[in-house]
Amino acid sequence: MIDFLVIGGGIAGISAGARVAPLGETIVLEAEAHLAYHASGRSAALFEETYGKPTTIALNRASKDHHFSAHGGVLSPRGLLLIGQPHETDAFDRDCQTMSLTRLTMADATTLLPILDTATVTMAAHHSDAWDIDTDKLIQDFARDIRTAGGTVATGQRVTSITRTTAGWDVKTPAATYQARTLINAAGSWADQIAMLAKITPLGLQPLKRSMARIAAPGGHDPKTWPMIFGPGETWYAKPDAGALLVSPADETPVDPHDAWADDLDLATGLAAYQDYVTEPVTKPISSWAGLRTFAPDRSLVLGRAADDPAFIWCAGQGGYGMQTSPAASQLIGDICAERTSLLDPKTVAALSPKRFQ
Ligand SMILES: Cc1cc2nc3c(=O)[nH]c(=O)nc-3n(C[C@H](O)[C@H](O)[C@H](O)COP(=O)(O)OP(=O)(O)OC[C@H]3O[C@@H](n4cnc5c(N)ncnc54)[C@H](O)[C@@H]3O)c2cc1C
């Protein structure tokens, strides 16, 4: 019998595994052939401290030091530029306030983004405190922490059955059966399905599809130093990516859990929105993808022991923040498993607990 069995080899499961592995024997099971195949391999990889609900912002803040310094750090400077047109004043003002952005003249904004169309864009604001996350390194660092502590990460292991026993759980994959005292559910979009396999009450997690087009650097520019660009109210966004530009319609289409792909119409919507703000014509995408951002009904993460069984721990509902919140979210899972007091404020811990849905 092992101590901790983690289901899910995305950022949630790998980071949680890294925190519990020093506490007892740990195995992380991932259904796919490699880690981070689903949402965790498809993100925009941004760290923006003010992004999300207050509980998420608390986790972002508590994660920042780890992102900067653990294993040499995973952040590099990006900055965030909000640009708006005359009809978007209300959303623009709201975003400026929420994200503590400094208003810029159009001349200054054009220095940051040379393709800015000053014929249509009349408002711009910026802050430099937004960062690119090296998500591959983040995941590999956590995976190494698991192995260093004596834990195991097993891919190609889809959990198909979960049975409660007096001592813990019997968990089956087509290849093996595992016995564990504590189960950590980090199955992303499938977390409610894992709960139902274990006869735990599901929480109503909803996967929302988000799409991304990758286009060549506009007009031959090198976008390496451009900031992340947002339309007011997160109506679209664009981000430099290894010499190209990612453009997303910031879509949120409710779907069942699946291996998501980008719909042409969604991509076209995003590219048309972006086109309205810039001078260079949109070119055919080099590639595209979609991923599922999975939210609890109140859009806060769900971190803690299930109300109906303390040996079942939720690590789910990461939504659009799973990368940036992972150090603090996983630390909370580790603290709960070690019965340690969290450094997060108790109100935040309660607002993240699955017991809030009781
Ligand atoms: C387009 C897009 C942009 C984003 N941008 C950002 C961003 O800029 N910053 C940020 O912080 N976040 C961002 N996110 C969100 C972030 O990617 C997610 O919150 C995070 O990846 C969720 O991680 P996860 O481990 O919960 O889910 P996943 O990565 O989906 O991992 C869950 C894993 O569980 C496995 N699994 C499911 N069922 C089973 C089973 N029965 N047995 C074994 N394994 C199973 C799955 O195969 C999967 O690999 C973005 C997401 C998308 C889609």
Question: How many domains does one find in the chain?
Answer: 2
**Could you tell me if 219 and 289 lie in one domain?**
yes
Closest residue by Cα to atom 3, ligand 1, is 43
pLDDT tens for 289-321 read 999 999 999 999 999 999 999 999 999 999 999
Residues linked to residue 248 through DSSP beta bridges, in sequence order: 237
**Could you tell me if 274 and 331 lie in one domain?**
no
Last residue of a domain, one of 273, 293, 313: 293
Best mutation site among 49, 75, 241, 323 for ligand 1, i.e. most ligand atoms within 8 A of its Cβ? 323
Listed in sequence order, the residues at least 6 apart from 182 whose beta carbon sits closer than 8 Å to its beta carbon are 3, 4, 5, 168, 169, 311, 312, 313, 337
Alpha carbon of 166 to ligand 1 centroid (Å): 32
As a whole number of angstroms, the distance between CA 53 and CA 61 comes to 12
Last residue of a domain, one of 239, 258, 293: 293
**Could you tell me if 26 and 159 lie in one domain?**
yes
**Ligand 1 binding residues, C-beta < 6 A:** 7-13, 29-32, 36-40, 42-46, 158-159, 186-190, 194, 210, 212, 291, 293, 318-324
| Domain harbouring 92, CATH code | 3.30.9.10
**Could you tell me if 50 and 141 lie in one domain?**
yes
| Domain harbouring 349, CATH code | 3.50.50.60
* pTM of model > 0.95: yes
**Could you tell me if 213 and 91 lie in one domain?**
yes
- For residue 41, what are its two tokens? 């391999």
- pLDDT of 220 reads 86
Last residue of a domain, one of 253, 277, 293: 293
**Could you tell me if 52 and 162 lie in one domain?**
yes
Closest residue by Cα to atom 19, ligand 1, is 322
Q: What angle do the packed helices 135-148 and 322-338 form, to 10 degrees? A: 20
- For residue 293, what are its two tokens? 């951002």
Please check whether residue 159 is in contact with residue 180, taking contact to mean a CB–CB distance below 8 angstroms. Answer: no
Dihedral (CA of 106, 107, 109, 115) sign: positive
Residue 277: count of CB within 10 angstroms of its CB? 19
- 72 within some domain: no
Please check whether residue 131 is in contact with residue 47, taking contact to mean a CB–CB distance below 8 angstroms. Answer: yes
**Could you tell me if 17 and 121 lie in one domain?**
no
pLDDT tens for the 358 residues of the chain, in order: 999 999 999 999 999 999 999 999 999 999 999 999 999 999 999 999 999 999 999 999 999 999 999 999 999 999 999 999 999 999 999 999 999 999 999 999 999 999 999 999 999 999 999 999 999 999 999 999 999 999 999 999 999 999 999 999 999 999 999 999 999 999 999 999 999 999 999 999 999 999 999 999 998 899 999 999 999 999 999 999 999 999 999 999 999 999 999 999 999 999 999 999 999 999 999 999 999 999 999 999 999 999 999 999 999 999 999 999 999 999 999 999 999 999 999 999 999 999 999 8
CA atoms within 13 A on the CB side of 117: 14
- 246 within some domain: yes
- 74 within some domain: no
Domain membership of residue 287 as a residue range? 80-127+206-293
- pLDDT of 55 reads 98
What percent of the residues of the chain are helix, what percent strand, and what percent coil, each to the nearest 5? 35, 30, 35
**Coil, strand or helix: which one is 194?**
helix
